[in-house]
Amino acid sequence: MSKSPNYPFNPGVPPVMPPYTYRPPLSLGLAYVLWFFFGLLGIHYFYMGKVGRGILWLLTGGLLGIGWLTDLFTLPAQMRLVNTQRAMGMR
C-alpha cells in the first residue's frame, strides 16, 4: 500500500515545507518621505500594505490631520511591526 510522502507521518521522508520567499524590509526613510508629502492622503499606509487604513486616511484627510500628526511619532513602531510580519511571511 503506497502512502503520500507525509501522510500522516513517514519516518523515511522529510516533511514537505512550503518554499521560503525572501521579502526585503521596507524603508523607514521612504515611509517618512511619503508621510511628509502625501501623509494626509494615506500613501505611507498603502506603502506598508495597510490598505484599509490608507483608504480611511484618503477619505478623511488623515483623520482631519490629527492622525497625520500622530504618525510622526508612531511610524517607526509601525514599520518594525510590518517588517517583522513580512519576515515571518504574515504580510
Tens of pLDDT, residue by residue over 25-84, are: 999 999 999 999 999 999 999 999 999 999 999 999 999 999 999 999 999 999 999 999
Q: How confident is the model at residue 13 (pLDDT cuts 50, 70, 90)?
A: low
pLDDT in tens, 29-40: 999 999 999 999
The values of phi and psi at residue 70, to 5°, are: -65, -30
CB contact at 8 A, 48 and 82: yes
| Residue 76 CB neighbours (<10 A) | 12
The residue type of 74 is: T
pLDDT recorded at residue 88: 85
